[in-house]
A = this chain, B = another copy of it.
Amino acid sequence: MALRARAMYDFSSENPGEVSVRENEILTLFSEQDIEGWLEGVNSKGERGLFPASYVEILRSDTPSTYNNNSCNTSMENFSKPSPPGFSTFSAPSQQQQQQSFQQQQPSQGSDDDWDDDWDDSSTVADEPGTVGGRYQDFEGNGPSTYRVSTSSMSRGNAQHAKSSATVSRNLNRFSTFVKSGGEAFVLGEASGFVKDGDKICVVIGQYGPEWQENPYPFSCAIDDPTKQTKFKGMKSYISYKLTPTHTQTQVNRRYKHFDWLYARLVEKFPVISVPHIPEKQATGRFEEDFISKRRKGLIWWMNHMTSHPVLARCDVFQHFLSCNSSDEKAWKQGKRKAEKDEMVGANFFLTISTPAAPLDFQEVESKIDGFKTFTKRMDDSALQLNATVNEFARKQISGFKKEYQKVGMSFKVLSQAFEMDQQPYSAGLNQAISFTGDAYEAVGEYFAEQPSKDLDPIMDLLALYQGHLANYPDIIHVQKGALTKVKESQKHVEEGKMDGAQAEGINERCNIISCATLAEIQHFHQIRVRDFKAQMQHYLQQQITFFQKITGKLEEALQKYDNA
């Protein structure tokens, strides 16, 4: 039976490849797997194309197609449509987009082996009454929907909804990151929970302002030997990676889907932390050597950013992922369920943060955040340009440069072959030397073709990781800005006598927590950025120097052949 979806909102196509859809229109989907936030399908007019995944709900054949129209002020103002593939400036999907994709994909039985596996089936969150759809109950507290919608809003805060102060306006835009992340609920004092000492996350004042307290037990984790595994007598295949963290020295085997599951947990848990993106999913060619090698490199970069982060490195779900014995299925499932039931996610995450004694100056914070916003935009633009240049440079070296040097080599060879027709002994040495020179230039052409994988590819990997971070920051900045707006509103309300000072003070304090966390995260970003780009530029230049020295060596070898010619 064809996969169908219902449009929840009107969408007007703006670019080639998109199709317009109307609210309540029934669409036929080609796949429920989205492409960077877009689904492909056919509308009721029979037009085929892309539309935003977040504009539609997928209709399950086993569930009645009842549409809970909770259209209480669904302002589209802050709803940011995903950029269609190829039109994106921020080419990586944002955290929220990736999260939505994840939620959509979880129940799918698509062709990607990374997803159609068994262990999810027996322990999906849908099995647990009261948590159907996880956080994905609708915003109005209407209880679990009988269908999974592609978009949703913060739900953990529902229990505290009644406490909400009528004097501070809620952001009724159900698509706002501020709402979804739990930032709003937290600022309004709606988050509550028991924070264990072990969960405490400290922001301290360092040399350059607020920063995450360093991980007292730093570690790293190697990712080796991706191997193809099979189960069900070869019916199912997957790639398994060997992870060896330095602090446990115990190897565990993990699959891409484990990384993906972990990533979703982290994004859900940490509203103002830029969780590094895992390498992109790929449906075909997953067992090809090049792809496996590329994915492993991506996972190594990802792991490096995870272990380098003072908060992410220490969190329970990551530690479970790193240390749980792969063969102890029971322990794995327990940890998995615990992570999925973690109360300290979203709004409650902010409860775990302890800040320095002195509150921040919000004006200074705002200026710093604005500066950082400009910085990320500039960095994203330049990373995009560098990526395009480097990509093209690699392509040129592999094709054009190689070809030119090899054509020169070939022409020298042809000349030496012509010269060999003169069999006089005094020309034999020259003929051999020219022939060797021809070979040398063919080799140099090969060097050019081989080089990009050694120096340009790592730069592209680095840029991809940072483009992921840069795509996360608009949401993070949005949460902090939302909190600051609430502070300004509360000040106005106090002036107007609509709010008492204590309540406003609470909002201030909570905004201070969010601001401290955001600035600490920005500080961390700059530090790893400087570290990573320094190391990568050094690596690049070292590789380039080695490369040109190798060419020089080859040509010196050729030159020597003429000594006795």
Collect the chain B residues with CB atoms within 8 Å of residue A533's CB: 419, 430, 434
The answer, yes or no, to whether A347 is at the interface (CB within 8 Å) is no
Taking a contact as CB atoms under 8 Å apart, the answer to whether B383 and A415 are in contact is yes
Collect the chain B residues with CB atoms within 8 Å of residue A418's CB: 375, 378-379, 381-382
Taking a contact as CB atoms under 8 Å apart, the answer to whether A541 and B437 are in contact is yes
The answer, yes or no, to whether A407 is at the interface (CB within 8 Å) is yes
Taking a contact as CB atoms under 8 Å apart, the answer to whether B422 and A375 are in contact is yes
Return the contact of A421 from the options B375, B408, B437 (Cβ within 8 A). B375
Question: What is the chain B residue whose CB lies nearest that of A556?
Answer: B545
Taking a contact as CB atoms under 8 Å apart, the answer to whether B548 and A544 are in contact is no
- How far, in angstroms, from A369 to B226 measured CA to CA in the complex? 67
Residues of A within 8 A of B (CB-CB), count: 60
Question: Mostly helix, strand, loop or mixed at chain A's interface?
Answer: helix
Taking a contact as CB atoms under 8 Å apart, the answer to whether A548 and B545 are in contact is no
Collect the chain B residues with CB atoms within 8 Å of residue A414's CB: 381-382, 385-386
Q: Using an 8 Å CB-CB cutoff, how does the interface string of A426-446 with B read, 1 for contact, 0 for none? A: 110010011001000000000
Given contacts A379-B419, A390-B411, A414-B386, contact A555 B562 (CB under 8 A): no
- How far, in angstroms, from A421 to B379 measured CA to CA in the complex? 9
Q: In the complex, identify which listed stretch (A10-18, A61-69, A393-401) lies at the interface while the others stay far away.
A: A393-401
Collect the chain B residues with CB atoms within 8 Å of residue A552's CB: 545, 548-549, 552
Collect the chain B residues with CB atoms within 8 Å of residue A542's CB: 559
Taking a contact as CB atoms under 8 Å apart, the answer to whether B537 and A434 are in contact is yes
Collect the chain B residues with CB atoms within 8 Å of residue A371's CB: 421
CB distance from A212 to the nearest CB of B (A): 16
- How far, in angstroms, from A526 to B558 measured CA to CA in the complex? 22
- How far, in angstroms, from A562 to B415 measured CA to CA in the complex? 45
CB distance from A37 to the nearest CB of B (A): 26
Collect the chain B residues with CB atoms within 8 Å of residue A545's CB: 552, 555-556, 559
CB distance from A403 to the nearest CB of B (A): 9
Q: Using an 8 Å CB-CB cutoff, how does the interface string of A521-558 with B read, 1 for contact, 0 for none? A: 00000110110011001100110110011011001101
- How far, in angstroms, from A407 to B394 measured CA to CA in the complex? 12
Collect the chain B residues with CB atoms within 8 Å of residue A400's CB: 396, 400
Taking a contact as CB atoms under 8 Å apart, the answer to whether A526 and B424 are in contact is yes
Return the contact of A393 from the options B375, B390, B408 (Cβ within 8 A). B408
The answer, yes or no, to whether A229 is at the interface (CB within 8 Å) is no
Return the contact of A382 from the options B374, B401, B411, B430 (Cβ within 8 A). B411
Question: What is the chain B residue whose CB lies nearest that of A396?
Answer: B404
Taking a contact as CB atoms under 8 Å apart, the answer to whether B526 and A421 are in contact is no
- How far, in angstroms, from A31 to B42 measured CA to CA in the complex? 71
- How far, in angstroms, from A427 to B207 measured CA to CA in the complex? 14
Taking a contact as CB atoms under 8 Å apart, the answer to whether A538 and B562 are in contact is yes
CB distance from A207 to the nearest CB of B (A): 9
Taking a contact as CB atoms under 8 Å apart, the answer to whether A534 and B562 are in contact is yes
Collect the chain B residues with CB atoms within 8 Å of residue A393's CB: 404, 407-408
Return the contact of A430 from the options B390, B434, B534 (Cβ within 8 A). B534
The answer, yes or no, to whether A194 is at the interface (CB within 8 Å) is no
Taking a contact as CB atoms under 8 Å apart, the answer to whether B558 and A422 are in contact is no
Taking a contact as CB atoms under 8 Å apart, the answer to whether A559 and B530 are in contact is no
The answer, yes or no, to whether A565 is at the interface (CB within 8 Å) is yes
Question: What is the chain B residue whose CB lies nearest that of A434?
Answer: B537
The answer, yes or no, to whether A208 is at the interface (CB within 8 Å) is yes
Taking a contact as CB atoms under 8 Å apart, the answer to whether A415 and B382 are in contact is yes
CB distance from A435 to the nearest CB of B (A): 11
The answer, yes or no, to whether A167 is at the interface (CB within 8 Å) is no
CB distance from A552 to the nearest CB of B (A): 4
The answer, yes or no, to whether A108 is at the interface (CB within 8 Å) is no
Taking a contact as CB atoms under 8 Å apart, the answer to whether A544 and B537 are in contact is no
Question: What is the chain B residue whose CB lies nearest that of A412?
Answer: B386
Collect the chain B residues with CB atoms within 8 Å of residue A544's CB: 555
Question: What is the chain B residue whose CB lies nearest that of A395?
Answer: B404
Question: What is the chain B residue whose CB lies nearest that of A523?
Answer: B424
Taking a contact as CB atoms under 8 Å apart, the answer to whether A555 and B541 are in contact is yes
CB distance from A12 to the nearest CB of B (A): 34
CB distance from A427 to the nearest CB of B (A): 5
Given contacts A538-B559, A548-B555, contact A408 B424 (CB under 8 A): no
Given contacts A208-B424, A541-B559, A565-B534, contact A411 B437 (CB under 8 A): no
- How far, in angstroms, from A414 to B380 measured CA to CA in the complex? 11
The answer, yes or no, to whether A249 is at the interface (CB within 8 Å) is no
- How far, in angstroms, from A549 to B378 measured CA to CA in the complex? 35
Q: Can you offer 9 A-B residue contacts whose CB atoms are under 8 A? A: A386-B415, A389-B410, A393-B404, A393-B407, A426-B530, A430-B537, A433-B534, A538-B562, A541-B558
- Shortest 6 CB-CB contacts between residues of A and residues of B: A378-B418, A382-B418, A389-B411, A386-B411, A541-B559, A382-B415
